[in-house]
Amino acid sequence: MSEQKIPFFPLFVDLSKKLIVVIGGGVIATRRVKALLPFGTEIVVIAPEVTEELKAEGRDKITIWKTAFGMERWEQMIEQFGQPYMIIAATNRPVLNAEIAAQCKIKKILVNVIDQKELCDFYFPGIVKKEEVVIGITASGQNHKRAREVRQWVQKLIDNE
């Protein structure tokens, strides 16, 4: 008998002026940062290299700390930027992402791990936003294609209202 996946509860959170640290600077990290920017959060990206798109998005909106992240940098990160509200582990190193998640659990910091959904405290929804209305869509990490299709459908509906 297969275990039924319990869906995640949709929760809308005020992220304004909350520190979010994104560890990694690749394509997925860029998508996460772009999703967060409209919500007034303070974003720090820690990575030796970041995408050109992230550099362009980041002008005056995010802080980029150009360094390789290892767990030995944890305290230095806290000293430099403060205690994060949330961390996104978006490196291309699954072991490091898991170590980041473990430290977040100990420190009671919300964490999203891009390559290990079982370590995530939350998933990033597909977002549809028009004026003051924000709609989040997720398939609880089970079917990204279906969630994307529903997001596109809802986007068309709200654009045509």
Counting as low any pLDDT under 70, the low residues of the chain are 1-5, 58
Q: Label the pairing between strands 62-65 and 86-89.
A: unpaired
Q: What local confidence, expressed as pLDDT, does residue 4 receive?
A: 56
Share of residues in the chain with pLDDT > 70 (%): 95
Query: pTM for the complete prediction?
Result: 0.87
Q: What local confidence, expressed as pLDDT, does residue 134 receive?
A: 87
The answer to whether the CB of 20 falls within 8 A of the CB of 135 is: no
Q: What local confidence, expressed as pLDDT, does residue 116 receive?
A: 87
| Alpha helices, DSSP H, located in 15-130 | 27-36, 52-58, 74-81, 94-107
Q: pLDDT by residue (tens digit) across 84-106?
A: 999 999 999 999 999 999 999 99
The answer to whether the CB of 48 falls within 8 A of the CB of 66 is: yes
Q: What local confidence, expressed as pLDDT, does residue 40 receive?
A: 85
User: What is the distance between the alpha carbons of residues 129 and 136, in angstroms, rounded to a whole number?
Assistant: 9
